[in-house]
């Protein structure tokens, strides 16, 4: 019976590698727009979450 495969935290998926390349090639303006969009999405999510979810998120971090 083969040994159980251990996870390798250093490995990244092909999608993650592609996104890394995309981020490296983007301009400063594009990077700022991406960060702003992500901040807006995060703010929307946190505005709609329940107090229980908020507390769970804070204790998990």
φ, ψ (nearest 5 deg) of residue 4: -70, 135
| Closest-CA residue to 19 (of 39, 37, 40, 34) | 34
Q: How many CB atoms lie within 10 A of CB 49?
A: 13
Tell whether the model's pLDDT for residue 1 goes beyond 90.
Answer: no
Quick one: pLDDT at residue 2? 80
φ, ψ (nearest 5 deg) of residue 57: -65, -40
pTM of this structure? 0.62
CA distances from residue 55 to 22, 38, 61 in whole angstroms, order as listed: 34, 21, 10
Confidence of residue 30 (pLDDT cuts 50, 70, 90): very high
Average pLDDT over residues 27-42: 97
Q: Where are the domains positioned within the chain?
A: 4-59
Quick one: pLDDT at residue 61? 61
């Amino acid at each position: 019976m083969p040994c159980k495969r251990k996870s390798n935290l250093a490995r990244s998926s092909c999608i993650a590698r592609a996104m890394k390349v995309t981020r490296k090639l983007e301009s400063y303006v594009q990077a700022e727009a991406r960060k702003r969009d992500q901040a807006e999405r995060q703010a929307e999510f946190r505005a709609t979450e329940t107090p229980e979810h908020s507390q769970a998120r804070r204790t998990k971090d």
